[in-house]
Amino acid sequence: MDSAVEPGAIESLRAEVTGEVLVPGDEGYEALANLMVHKGHPAAIVRARSNDDVARGIAFAVAHGLEISTRSGGHSNAGFSTNVGGVVLDLTHLDGVEVLNESERLVRLGAGAQWSHVATALAPHGLAFTSGDTTSVGVGGLLVGGGVGWMARKYGLALDSLVAAEVVTADGRVLPASAEENPDLFWAIRGGGGNFGVVTSFTVVAQPVAQVFFGQIAFAPDETEAVLRGWAAYMDSAPEELTATAMCWPTFGEAPPPLGIMVCYAGDDDAAAALAIDPIRKLGTVVDDQVRLMPYGDVLQPISDLPPGWQPRVRNRLTPALTEDLASTILAQQAHLPNLYVEIRSIGGALSLVPEDATAFAHRSTQALIMGVLLGDPEGNEPLLPTYEAFWSALAPSMSGAYSGFLSNVLQADIDAVYPHQTYRRLAELKREYDPDNIFHLNVNVIPA
């Protein structure tokens, strides 16, 4: 146990909370201490079952001078969902999904719910919610960061459907946040991440979508550049019901693999879906076409296990214009790194309908998100980092901003990209009000003004 925790303190905490408190040596501790690619060794893991439990966990950490990690699904690329010697506030038990008003499609989501659970609960109501990519991504982490889901071009970011939330602040208060109550806090948690407290529940407007056309279309490897350029040109005018992602796979020194384009058409109209997707099919020689009608929940995939020792380096940038020339530049730069996976998410559409200052996610003119993942272990990738940096430098003239969710090594340049100057300044002022001591700093952090 961490030396900052005096004898008997854990027992006192256990007596105060209704959830479980785990320390090193307890059954189940190891599984909860570690993330997918990050190892942790916190002094205590508080598995909260109520807002009061969260508040007591915060108070315990503050009293003992311990860092705080908040975890919903544990998918933090940067490892923020665990720590060494601190407290992890595990929200797994706060996983309720409740349809509050079916006619208005209002749904309350617990921060610890996983998106597969949300999809399953909403399906009988003919509803869905644009969410993460995988089954085990948590509601909380995705919603406070943004949520670039499979229906983004039709319905915007996940946070754009948020109408209310409950937030446990640094001083233990439980505050409602909405357009009517604490509107400044409501603004901040929509894109400002976990900087302002622990958001324990969200009220959202779900989408009236029961089924979608979803799947991968793969193209002959020798046509990759032509297809990618054509796809970039097409998505600018594609129906907003269609969200698509190009997956440029690494070669690992072998022959180039096929280019994969994942598509999701938000609706079950076969003719309309074909009209939207067929222009992509016609861009080149299709070697595999897996697109089919399915419940929205089937879009979400289980997370794949990585080879032992792998710790991918992840970075992203946003672009206001996904041009054909930018597509060619991405491929040319990727060719210098045989273990670099590049993903291009075409978004835009409904994203731009929200004013830039309406939420703390300000990048409303974004047309695409470019993510570069350097696969392998940190030691093996060390010599490749200059080339990886050169990849991003080559793209920089076409980029404007970043998304907080796909970053593994958060540098000041990343924070500057996530939060434009005016947004950061307003967030910093609110940080001073809600978390003046910056106890919630394991995130894409905003320093109190």
Q: Where residue 158 sits, what CATH number does that domain have?
A: 3.30.465.10
At 364, list the tokens.
């409303």
Are 204 and 244 in the same domain?
no
Tokens of 12: 């006192």
Q: Which helix (H) or strand (E) holds 326?
A: helix 324-334
Q: What was the pLDDT predicted at 48?
A: 98
Q: Where is the domain boundary, 208, 239, 255?
A: 208
What phi and psi values does residue 243 have, to the nearest 5 degrees?
A: -115, 140
* Count of domains for the chain: 3
Alpha carbons 161 and 129: distance in angstroms, whole number: 9
In a domain? residue 202 = yes
Give yes or no: residues 37 and 120 share one domain: no
Confidence (pLDDT) at 4? 64
DSSP per position, 2-70 = -TTS-TTHHHHHHHH-SSEEE-TTSTTHHHHH--SS---B-SEEEE-SSHHHHHHHHHHHHHTT--EEE
- Grade residue 7 by pLDDT with cuts at 50, 70 and 90: low
- Residue 200, domain member (yes or no): yes
Confidence of residue 1 (pLDDT cuts 50, 70, 90): very low
Same structural domain, 255 and 383: yes
Q: Of 373, 318, 375, give the one whose Cα is nearest residue 345.
A: 318
- Using alpha carbons, select from 86, 50, 8 the residue that is nearest to residue 172: 50
Can you give the pLDDT at residue 3?
Answer: 45
Inter-residue contact 405 to 142 (CB < 8 Å)? yes
Last residue of some domain: 183, 208, 233? 208
- Determine contact, residues 313/409, Cβ cutoff 8 Å: yes
Asked, for residue 433, whether it belongs to a domain, the answer is no
Domain final residue pick, 49, 64, 90: 90
Residue range 27-36: mean pLDDT, rounded: 92
Residue 302 sits in the same domain as residue 164: no
pLDDT tens-place string over residues 55-79: 999 999 999 999 999 999 988 989 9
Name the 3-class secondary structure at 296.
Answer: helix
- The answer to whether 389 and 364 are in contact (CB under 8 A) is no
The verdict on residue 446 lying in a domain is no
Instruction: For residues 348 and 224, state if they share a domain.
Output: yes
Query: Could you tell me the CATH number of the domain that includes residue 261?
Result: 3.40.462.20
Give the domain extent around 108.
Answer: 97-208
pLDDT higher than 50, residue 317: yes
pLDDT tens digits, one per residue of 150-177: 999 999 999 999 999 999 999 999 999 9
Own/partner long-range contacts of 394-398 (Cβ < 8 Å, ≥24 apart): 394/329, 394/333, 395/317, 395/319, 395/326, 395/329, 395/330, 395/333, 395/370, 396/317, 398/319, 398/321, 398/323, 398/326, 398/329
Say yes or no: 261 and 287 in one domain: yes
Planar angle of CA 418, 342, 380, nearest 5 degrees: 95
Kindly give the pairing relationship between strand 68-71 and strand 87-90.
Answer: parallel
Q: 203 and 218: one domain?
A: no
Q: Region 100-129: what's the mean pLDDT?
A: 96
In this structure, is residue 185 part of a structural domain? yes
Residues 384-421: tens digit of each pLDDT: 999 999 999 999 999 999 999 999 999 999 999 999 99
Domain match, 82 and 118 both: no
Residues 115, 70, 421, 431, CA torsion sign: positive
Q: Is 445 within the bounds of a domain?
A: no
Q: Are residues 216 and 204 part of one domain? A: no
The mean pLDDT value of the chain amounts to 96
The verdict on 199 and 215 lying in the same domain is no
Q: Lowest-confidence range among 29-43, 165-179, 207-221, 334-348?
A: 29-43
Q: Are residues 251 and 374 both part of a single domain?
A: yes
Looking at the fold, whether 253 and 312 belong to one and the same domain comes out as yes
